[in-house]
């Protein structure tokens, strides 16, 4: 029997697990992501694979852009990752496993949801992940859309309010400026500095304004939190509507830290915002992601066929 392991490489956590053909995760291992650079990460992956009893095939999801050879570029949050990092090659060398595939974590998340999650059985899918930013993956005719430069899927940088709020990338009016946690935090801090009071800053203090901070402020019916979340919902809904108009899709999956924390009600409201903006006849279900914390492992395993 072929053993497949999926590896979910994050800036702080490294997860690995065996995944069967039905997308079920068997054994799991977890450790902090080594901070000594790519070779140390590859060595840690090799140790985890050994702990899991070895593998015939290995899929890895990573932050950053990944080229056809499994090299990784542009990983802002990981020290010592000077692009391009030949991650697939390093992992092959460290593990002795030949069948290694590497892809971007957002693509991997989308693949998992399509293969074994909320979009199972669908061939034309948009996955939107609302986290620190807004990421996405597009599956068309059953295949992940990568594009000639491997840069497809940037739903977070769709323009929904041309000339509007400044995005982390420097652009204006992008979905991510409204729908990403960092964009919402920047706006809250800007308004707070300008004299508005909000429970968001009271709860977070100087620390990062995590999803849980937004959840708590919403529970208190904090006016600014309500407004920022309303704007996030409208922006993500508008981007989904735009994507559906352009591509004609059969389902949209919404996941990510913010969506998971605020729950199915948030996703339902995003779906309503999208539906309101769609030409009649193009109605599309908008559903919560289903794989949760295992999405990265399951999607990574999918890269090599599980």
- Interacting residue ranges for a second copy, rule: CB under 8 A: 123-124, 136, 138, 140, 145-155, 157-162, 169-173, 234-235, 238-239, 241-243, 245-250, 277, 279, 281-282
Identify which of residues 197 and 276 has a Cβ nearer to a second copy in the complex.
Answer: 276
Q: How far is the CB of 282 from a second copy (least distance, A)?
A: 6
Identify which of residues 17 and 173 has a Cβ nearer to a second copy in the complex.
Answer: 173
Tokens 């800053």, located at residue: 201
Identify which of residues 268 and 275 has a Cβ nearer to a second copy in the complex.
Answer: 275
Q: How far is the CB of 242 from a second copy (least distance, A)?
A: 4
Q: How far is the CB of 187 from a second copy (least distance, A)?
A: 16
Distance of CA 269 to the CA centre of its chain: 19
Q: How far is the CB of 154 from a second copy (least distance, A)?
A: 4
Identify which of residues 58 and 233 has a Cβ nearer to a second copy in the complex.
Answer: 233
Axis-axis angle for helices 223-247, 257-277 (nearest 10):
60
Tokens 């919902």, located at residue: 233
Q: How far is the CB of 13 from a second copy (least distance, A)?
A: 27
Identify which of residues 21 and 151 has a Cβ nearer to a second copy in the complex.
Answer: 151
Identify which of residues 161 and 220 has a Cβ nearer to a second copy in the complex.
Answer: 161
Q: How far is the CB of 147 from a second copy (least distance, A)?
A: 2
- Strand order, beta sheet including 134-140: 143-144, 134-140, 125-130, 251-255, 286-288
Q: How far is the CB of 136 from a second copy (least distance, A)?
A: 8
Alpha carbon distances (Å) from 291 to 109, 135, 297, 299: 9, 16, 10, 9
Distance of CA 121 to the CA centre of its chain: 21
Identify which of residues 114 and 200 has a Cβ nearer to a second copy in the complex.
Answer: 114
Identify which of residues 57 and 269 has a Cβ nearer to a second copy in the complex.
Answer: 269
**Cβ neighbours for 131, distance < 8 A, ≥ 6 positions apart:** 180, 181, 256, 257, 258
Tokens of 152: 């497809």
Helix (H) or strand (E) run with residue 32 in it: strand 25-32
Q: How far is the CB of 74 from a second copy (least distance, A)?
A: 9
The Cβ-side half-sphere exposure at 6, using a 13 Å CA radius, reads 30
Task: Report the DSSP beta bridge partners of residue 102.
Answer: 60
Single out the residue of 148, 135, 59, 42 nearest to residue 101, CA to CA: 59
For 107-125, the DSSP string reads: HHHHHHHHHHSTTTT-SSE
CB 253, CB 115: distance < 8 Å: no
Identify which of residues 148 and 195 has a Cβ nearer to a second copy in the complex.
Answer: 148
Q: How far is the CB of 115 from a second copy (least distance, A)?
A: 18
Report the C-alpha gap between 234 and 251 in whole angstroms: 18
């Amino acid at each position: 029997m072929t053993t497949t392991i999926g590896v979910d490489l994050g800036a702080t956590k490294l997860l690995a697990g065996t995944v069967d053909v039905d997308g079920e995760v068997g054994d799991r291992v977890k450790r902090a992501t080594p901070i000594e650079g790519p070779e140390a990460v590859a060595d840690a992956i090799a140790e985890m694979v050994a702990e899991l009893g070895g593998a015939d095939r290995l899929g890895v999801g990573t932050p950053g852009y990944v080229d056809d050879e499994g090299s990784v570029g542009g990983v802002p949050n990981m020290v010592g990752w000077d692009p391009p990092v030949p991650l697939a090659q390093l992992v092959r060398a460290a593990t002795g496993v030949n069948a290694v595939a590497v892809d971007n974590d957002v693509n991997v998340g989308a693949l998992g949801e399509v293969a074994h999650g909320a979009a199972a059985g669908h061939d034309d899918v948009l996955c939107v992940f609302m986290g620190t930013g807004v990421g996405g993956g597009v599956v068309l005719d059953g295949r992940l859309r990568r594009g000639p430069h491997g840069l497809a899927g940037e739903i977070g940088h769709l323009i929904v309010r041309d000339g509007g709020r400044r995005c982390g990338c420097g652009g204006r009016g992008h979905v991510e400026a409204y729908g990403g946690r960092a964009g919402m935090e920047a706006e809250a801090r800007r308004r707070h500095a300008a004299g508005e009071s909000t429970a968001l800053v009271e709860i977070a203090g100087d620390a990062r304004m995590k999803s849980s901070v937004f959840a708590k402020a919403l529970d208190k019916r904090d006016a600014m939190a309500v407004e920022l979340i309303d704007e996030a919902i409208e922006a993500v809904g508008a981007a989904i509507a735009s994507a559906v108009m352009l591509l004609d899709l059969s389902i949209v999956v919404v996941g990510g830290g913010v969506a998971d924390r605020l729950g199915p009600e948030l996703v339902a409201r995003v779906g309503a915002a999208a539906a309101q903006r769609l030409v009649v006849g193009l109605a599309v279900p908008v559903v919560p992601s289903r794989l949760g914390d295992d999405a990265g492992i399951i999607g990574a395993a999918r890269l090599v066929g599980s």
